[in-house]
Amino acid sequence: MKTYDIVIASDHSGYELKSIIIEYLQKKSLSVYDCGTHNTQSVDYPDYAKKVVNNIIEKLARIGILIGDTGIGMSIAANRSSEIRAALCVNV
């Protein structure tokens, strides 16, 4: 199975920022697996948090990035898994 440095996902409100982050990470020679969403149509953020969580649990990558409107919902959704610890970051 191919592995990646980072798995990433966003809801519709984070789609544009996700695209910028992916481009930046790839310029730094990091491999990125994009779990979606792939446009700005409204989606349920927990579905995308779960995709990242599942990919980390399955060892597709060790690091995940979730992007949402405030990020709080994504953090809560990811932390529903006992195997994951998600934290809200606003400045990196």
**Confidence at residue 92, expressed as pLDDT on a 0 to 100 scale:** 62
pTM, rounded to two decimals:
0.94
Round to whole Å and give the CA distance between 79 and 92. 20
**Confidence at residue 1, expressed as pLDDT on a 0 to 100 scale:** 84
- Topology, domain 6-78: Ribose 5-phosphate Isomerase B; Chain: A, (3.40.1400)
Residue 8 pLDDT exceeds 70: yes
Round to whole Å and give the CA distance between 32 and 63. 10
Every domain of the chain and the residues it spans: 6-78
Nearest C-alpha neighbor of 81 from the set 59, 46, 50, 47? 50
**Confidence at residue 7, expressed as pLDDT on a 0 to 100 scale:** 99
**Residues, the chain:** 92
> Which pLDDT tens digit goes with each residue over 16-68?
999 999 999 999 999 999 999 999 999 999 999 999 999 999 999 999 999 99
Round to whole Å and give the CA distance between 18 and 92. 14
Is residue 74 within 8 A of residue 66, CB to CB? The reply is: yes
Task: Return the H-helix or E-strand segment holding 15.
Answer: helix 15-27
**Confidence at residue 91, expressed as pLDDT on a 0 to 100 scale:** 78
Query: Which pLDDT band, with edges at 50, 70 and 90, does 90 fall under?
Result: confident
Identity of residue 10: S
Classify the C-alpha dihedral 37-51-48-7 as positive or negative: negative
